Amino acid sequence: MASLREFRKKIKTVKSTQQITKAMKMVAAARLKSAQSRILQARPFAVKMRDMLTDLAGRVVTGDAADLNLFPHPLFARHATNKVGLLLVTADKGLCGSFNTNLIKKAGEFIATNKDKEIHFFIVGRKGRDFLKRLGFELRGEYVQIFGNLSYKHAEIIGEDIMAAFQKDELAEVTVIYNQFKSVLQQNLTAEKLLPVERPAKILSDAQTDFIYEPRREDLLAALLPRYVKSQIFRVLMESYAAELGARMSAMDSASKNAKELIEALTLRLNRSRQAIITREIAELVGGAEALS
């Protein structure tokens, strides 16, 4: 049986751990409030941007409209190749439950599905980068330690790299894997096609709207498409960051509760051991007294 000193040492250690987990939970909660507010502001912009581009792309046609021959922007191109791209968004740190594990598992499924293809990896977050490097994969782009000061410039850098690879290397498509934030307790593991940009389902005519375009629709579409891709990447980064904070809050809350239960169990064992020692000492004193009488 462990000594009283060992029990007290274990209790002290668990209490120190509990203080750390509580502090991490409070920090994550404070940051989550700001991140959640940014997401709520960014989602409507991303949705309207997609709707506007879909509408505009449906009006920019060349040749026979029946063939849906759209304005030939490179981001619309569909390349007949075995090259694909993967943008994996993980966290830089652990202690957030199964957040990184689920993302890496999903990336593993993507790799297995496309094992006969040449995959170009673009990895956000240290956890995903370290995992793929351990497996021996060569990374086309790696972006770490950006969530502490996340801004649109990070999305611009990532977007420029991905769009350049898509056009220069003629990737068939680029898929993004990330955790979409729903609530503190719920994050949806999501895989979306980022490139090529989806073509509209049908051609629209000027008679269906009263919009007047300045500059030309072709010039406007060419200028907005790269911004649209970058805005989608920025939304993905913010969603992932908020989901990470939510997962960390949940994990630290569970850890704090487990630490409390462990402290109670160790305290009970300490008291029982101390009671047993006292009882044994009393029995020895009584036995000694009886022996002397």
Contact in structure between 120 and 84 (CB atoms under 8 Å): yes
Q: Phi-psi category of 229—alpha, beta or left, where left has phi over 0 and alpha has psi -120 to 50?
A: alpha
Whether 79 is catalytic is no
- Determine contact, residues 42/234, Cβ cutoff 8 Å: yes
Bridge-based pairing state of the strands 186-195 and 118-124: unpaired
Strand order in the sheet with 173-183: 139-143, 118-124, 83-89, 173-183, 186-195
Determine contact, residues 95/23, Cβ cutoff 8 Å: no
Name the β-bridge partners of 275: none
Residue tagged active-site, from 96, 245, 259, 266? 96
CA neighbours closer than 13 Å in the CB half-sphere of residue 284? 6
- Alpha-carbon 191 to chain mean position: 11
CA atoms within 13 A on the CB side of 211: 14
Catalytic residue IDs: 96
